[in-house]
Structure 1
Amino acid sequence: MTARWPSWRTDLAISLVSFAGGLLLYAAGGWRMFLGDGPWSGAPDWLLLVPMTVMAGCCLLRRLAPGTAEGIGLVALAADTMLGGSLGTALIFTQVVYDACVYGRAWLWRANLIGGVAGSVLAAVAGVLLSGDWRGIVLGLVVALVVVLPTVTGISVRQYREQARIQRQRAEETARLAAWERRQAVADERARMARELHDVVANQLSAIAIHATAVLSAPDPSPQLVRRAVEQIRESSVSGLAEMRQMIGLLRDTGDGEGADPAARPGLASLPQLLAQAQATGLAVEAHTAGTDRALPVSVDFAAHRIVGESLTNAWKHGTGTAVLRVDADADRVLIEMDNPVRPGPAATGSGHGLIGMRERAALLGGTLTAAAVDGRWRLRAELPLRHDPAASR
């Protein structure tokens, strides 16, 4: 609406309508205020159209220079009063005062309010003294209607517009914050999915790499060695593809996952397969398990499977000798411990996603995970409670 009807057209329309209203009152003959005779009361009546025209012209400056418009309006009102006073000029002046309070600076509406109240009191006193009758107080009421009332109305509109502006700014800030939070959520989700892919694929790719390296490094590999390596590569590839399909299914699942096929979900029931794959890569594992055949919550079972798999991968990459794995599931929690010697020399490089992912899995379930090198051995301990209140961890 503002683009199709610029503000200057609104100001011009208000000025023309005000002038037309004044002319209508003049033509109807009911335009004098009857406040008494002024110093120039003997002048022709048509001279009252001059200050009225000037007052209507002040409406053109309502946005551009409201203070200047009110100053010119006061001069025109004084001239009109000296000519005897006209209703049209006084009514247009109320519009000028209103515009000054709405569009002018803060000091302008304060000056209008203080001056209007003081002028009303002085006019009431002067009216009583000049007329000798208490009814002369009506002069003060006229000043109040012409100055104080439009000032109060303009202040109310100004405050309303200021509050609306503040609310718009808050809404814009809220929208920007919501957009930032959405972008941050997308970035966090992408990072989480990257760690998921790392957990799913890294174990199998590591096994494929070590078997391929073993065949390539052999000076004269026998057909049996090549066949075993290819069989292990094929098994790791198929297993990795199956786990990726399982992860995609879990990501697509909009429910709680309870309705999914238990056989399609990785968990501690597949612990023997994890150990067999780790041993096939050349890692010596001494496993101690208890209670791994019990029914566990899906989230805990899945997290425990991932933590064990990542722990075995880290033990093969960064350790040497025999890795000791302990998995203990009871009625309250699942305990996972890994202890293996650290390989001497420079540490093997890695992305670090595996350890971050394990910590996040434990934290989401209300559990804990610690991992550190102590006295030449890598020790990992994860404790996953079977019952967790999400609200308690906030």
Structure 2
Amino acid sequence: MLPLPLARLHRDDVLIAAVGLFGGLFLWAVGPRSQNGPVLDAPWTALVPLTVMAALELVRRTAPRAAPALGTLAMGVEVLTPGNLVTVLMYTDLLYAAVVYGTPAAARRIPVAAFLFTVGVTVGLFTWTRGPEALVVGILAGLVCLAPALTGVSVRNHREAAEAARLRADRTALPAEKDRVRAVTAERARMARELHDVVANHLSAIAVHSTAALSIDDPGTSRDALTVIRENSVEGLAEMRRLIGLLRDGSGEPEPATAPTLDALDTLVAQAATSGAAGGLVLTLDDTRPAPDRLPAPVESAAYRIVQESLTNALKHAAPGPVTVRLGRSGRSLTVRVSSVYGDLPQPRAPGSGAGLAGMRERVALLAGEFEAGPVTGGNGGRIWRVRAELPVDEGNVTS
């Protein structure tokens, strides 16, 4: 099994090592020498540092600390041999890679060490020879050691700056994405409430009257039930088309969205009374608010939808008897109460999903109001199902 650095060889490092090795072999075969009068005069001795340097290029990225250290030792051997230019070039690449891929501490220390080495070689050689060749050697030392280290510092700084910019962009994009998800979720919840409140009323009437038509063997009753079923089907289809139009991108023909108001409660209760007559329901509206009393649009819309959903539930689940809708104003709040008889039904109950109560609670919660629904004891000792909502009203937004 390969050691960990070798197991993670990068494709570019392998390519650099292969090009360096074969390039160095080519120069060695051609015959030019980079220096004269070496200690190790045999031509083959130049292949030793060349091969070591090519092997170190394989781990230039995965072992950025060990590679330049061993490469420096190989360069010490290189100066004793006839020399090979490719060996020197690969050493400069090892110093560059050590700065770019090494630790932050190594990236700081290597350029300093290269600078001190360059100055030391130049000053030491000048002190010894007192000749201009010391300056030439100093320049060569700078090109071999200092130049690749400074280039690595520049590249590393650019990469770190780019990474920091990317992280800042990610941190900025994350809250924006969360806001977008919350907005989409809230809009989907709002559309789900609208769809349930608007369409469920018509479907409940259809369910109640279809049950009556199937259970009562009377042509007149069946005709009346089918008439109500048709009316609710047409109205429900129209509402569905309106909601679908609101979901389009504007290329179709959506109808303008109009928020329901409490002025339309008379019509809503009358429609529910017609639908509930077959089930023995008697609907009444008791509005004790001062007139005229215009409330903020969100309050009126929520109150209307709460009454609409409560009447839908009464059509599906209430026992025969009175269904009362009461509206009242008390200070800074609007009170909505809908009560119906709680008991057994003579016919099968229409199925319910519980989404209606959840939708009403959500509407009230959005206005920071209070909501309760459940069976309570009525004034005559009987059991009634009561829905009660307290909707806060901002007096500054109320127009009379």
Deviation at 1:310, TM superposition (A): 0.7
Deviation at 1:309, TM superposition (A): 1.0
Asked whether 1:350 is paired with 2:352, we answer yes
Is the contact made by 1:48 and 1:86 (CA closer than 8 Å) also made in structure 2?
Answer: no
Q: Distance in 2 between matches of 1:143 and 1:216?
A: 103
Deviation at 1:259, TM superposition (A): 7.8
Look up the match of 2:198. 200
Q: Distance in 2 between matches of 1:230 and 1:64?
A: 80
Is the contact made by 1:58 and 1:96 (CA closer than 8 Å) also made in structure 2?
Answer: no
RMSD value over aligned CA atoms?
A: 5.5
Deviation at 1:66, TM superposition (A): 5.5
Flag the 1:94–1:19 CA change in 2: closer, same or farther, 3 A: farther
Matching residue's letter, 1:98: Y
Matching residue's letter, 1:279: A
Q: Distance in 1 between matches of 2:160 and 2:28?
A: 33
Deviation at 1:340, TM superposition (A): 1.6
SS class of match (2:220): helix
Is the contact made by 2:97 and 2:152 (CA closer than 8 Å) also made in structure 1?
Answer: yes
Deviation at 1:276, TM superposition (A): 1.8
Matching residue's letter, 2:325: L
Q: Distance in 1 between matches of 2:143 and 2:327?
A: 88
SS class of match (1:323): strand
Flag the 1:279–1:303 CA change in 2: closer, same or farther, 3 A: same
Q: Distance in 2 between matches of 1:329 and 1:292?
A: 11
Q: Distance in 1 between matches of 2:186 and 2:83?
A: 74
Look up the match of 2:305. 306
Flag the 1:15–1:299 CA change in 2: closer, same or farther, 3 A: farther
Flag the 1:383–1:250 CA change in 2: closer, same or farther, 3 A: farther
Flag the 1:13–1:108 CA change in 2: closer, same or farther, 3 A: same
Look up the match of 1:248. 244
Q: Distance in 1 between matches of 2:303 and 2:96?
A: 73
SS class of match (2:79): helix
Asked whether 1:323 is paired with 2:323, we answer yes
Q: Deviations over 1:193-240 (max 9, x none)?
A: 44433222322222222233334444xx44433333333333332332
2:77 to 59, 65, 79: 79
Flag the 1:327–1:14 CA change in 2: closer, same or farther, 3 A: farther
Matching residue's letter, 1:276: A
Q: Distance in 1 between matches of 2:188 and 2:255?
A: 26
Q: Distance in 2 between matches of 1:373 and 1:223?
A: 38
Flag the 1:250–1:161 CA change in 2: closer, same or farther, 3 A: closer
Asked whether 1:153 is paired with 2:147, we answer no
Look up the match of 1:57. 54
TM-score normalized with structure 2 length = 0.64
Flag the 1:253–1:81 CA change in 2: closer, same or farther, 3 A: closer
1:238 to 226, 234, 239: 234
TM-score normalized with structure 1 length = 0.65
SS class of match (1:373): strand
Question: Is the deviation greater in 243-252 or in 186-195?
Answer: 186-195
Matching residue's letter, 1:57: A
Q: Distance in 2 between matches of 1:261 and 1:133?
A: 93
Q: Deviations over 1:258-315 (max 9, x none)?
A: 98397xx755444233212322303333313357888888766655443321122234
Flag the 1:76–1:153 CA change in 2: closer, same or farther, 3 A: same
SS class of match (2:227): helix
Question: Is the deviation greater in 343-352 or in 76-85?
Answer: 343-352
Look up the match of 2:266. 272
Is the contact made by 1:372 and 1:379 (CA closer than 8 Å) also made in structure 2?
Answer: yes
Deviation at 1:362, TM superposition (A): 5.0
2:92 to 86, 91, 94: 94
Question: Is the deviation greater in 72-81 or in 297-306?
Answer: 297-306
Q: Distance in 2 between matches of 1:379 and 1:273?
A: 20
Flag the 1:388–1:260 CA change in 2: closer, same or farther, 3 A: farther
Q: Distance in 2 between matches of 1:225 and 1:348?
A: 19
Asked whether 1:383 is paired with 2:391, we answer yes
Q: Distance in 2 between matches of 1:78 and 1:196?
A: 82
Is the contact made by 1:367 and 1:385 (CA closer than 8 Å) also made in structure 2?
Answer: no
**Number of positions where the alignment pairs a residue of Structure 1 with one of Structure 2:** 369
Aligned pairs for 1:168-183 within 5 A: none
Matching residue's letter, 1:101: V
Asked whether 1:12 is paired with 2:8, we answer no
Flag the 1:340–1:50 CA change in 2: closer, same or farther, 3 A: closer
Question: Is the deviation greater in 267-276 or in 86-95?
Answer: 86-95
Flag the 1:79–1:248 CA change in 2: closer, same or farther, 3 A: closer
Q: Deviations over 1:47-66 (max 9, x none)?
A: 89557745763575345766
- Percent of aligned pairs sharing the same letter: 36
